[in-house]
Amino acid sequence: MRTARFGTTNDSLPVMGLGGMPMSIQGRPDEAQSLRTIAAALDAGMRLIDTADVYCLDQHDIGHNERVIAKGVKASPHRADVRIATKGGLLRPDGAWTSDASPAHLKKACDASLKALGVDRIWLYQLHAPDGRVPLLDSVAALKALKDEGKIEHVGLSNVTSAQLDEARAVVPIASVQNRCNLEDRRSIEGQDCVLARCEAHGIAFLPYSPVGGGRGRARLTERTDVKRIAAKHGVSAYEILLAWLLAQSPAMFPIPGASRPESAISSVHAASITLDEGDLAALA
């Protein structure tokens, strides 16, 4: 798999990563299957895994995905080369999704993630989302403080605009931005607020989440006539074409498709070897 420098870090990583969320939310598989999925992803060449403290069922289950990821990576012969990214700034009261990006919560959440991951320092710690009740700069300053303390190596952002990225960059170096992005949701890569262009300009990695549409959008995207036609032309799945399209958009792209089955992780890796020609890209534009 092709590798690229990951944002402002000194790490060169394979361009396709693994999203851990499906292993820990409603309908999640048993732990044994999740561990097989992680093993398959790493054996196939993935080295970036994205997780979050709130990838779980509710407030009593916080850190579930981090613990599963940590267990899977620890058992892998590739563990020394794996980079784990996690996030803080959300809560799961009774299964809901709410924000708390206050400095006090971020410090507490980071400490809990360190314990769940079983590490002394988190490679990439991302603000899960700006909190409307907390000034963004307060949240980012808290991440800078955690970096200065040595608890995190790199700072990332998620669910941000270009203006918010610029605000944050004035406080601390930003290694990555993780926004929702796929063939139909192009807000971050097109239009007036093109976050991807800002990332490219400043050497920041862009991690598109829900790269094949997410839980509700995947069926619609994979059934699109144009996607199915191009998939048939290349002899691959529609799912793989959606990931290949993202990679074709920018060298800053590091898609993180979620997986809860080994077959899904392996399929994602295969997508990184697909080269779409100008006709394919024009059809999907």
Span 89-98, pLDDT tens digits? 999 999 999 9
Confidence check: pLDDT of 149 > 90: yes
How far CA 6 is from CA of 207, 221, 252, 277, in Å, comes to 10, 28, 8, 25
pLDDT of residue 283: 96
pLDDT of residue 54: 98
How far CA 35 is from CA of 13, 54, 72, 258, in Å, comes to 21, 19, 5, 14
Residue whose token pair is 């309908």: 27
Span 256-277, pLDDT tens digits? 999 999 999 999 999 999 999 9
pLDDT of residue 89: 98
- Alpha helix positions (H), the chain: 31-44, 64-74, 103-117, 136-148, 162-169, 195-201, 214-222, 225-234, 238-249, 262-271, 278-284
Span 159-212, pLDDT tens digits? 999 999 999 999 999 999 999 999 999 999 997 889 999 999 999 999 999 999
What's the whole-number average pLDDT of the chain?
97
pLDDT of residue 185: 94
The pairing of strands 90-91 and 83-88 is unpaired
pLDDT of residue 28: 97
Confidence check: pLDDT of 216 > 80: no
Task: Please choose, from the candidates 87, 77, 7, the residue with its C-alpha nearest in 3D space to the C-alpha of residue 52.
Answer: 87
Q: At what angle do helices 262-271 and 238-249 cross, to 10 degrees?
A: 50
pLDDT of residue 151: 98
Span 54-86, pLDDT tens digits? 999 999 999 999 999 999 999 999 999 999 999
Confidence check: pLDDT of 217 > 80: no
pLDDT of residue 218: 84
The CATH code for residues 11-214+251-260 is: 3.20.20.100
Q: What is the mean pLDDT of residues 102-114?
A: 98
Poorest-confidence range of 44-53, 73-82, 216-225? 216-225
pLDDT of residue 193: 87
pLDDT of residue 121: 98
Find the length of the chain.
Answer: 285
The Cα–Cα gap between 162 and 194 comes to 7
Q: What is the mean pLDDT of residues 140-157?
A: 98
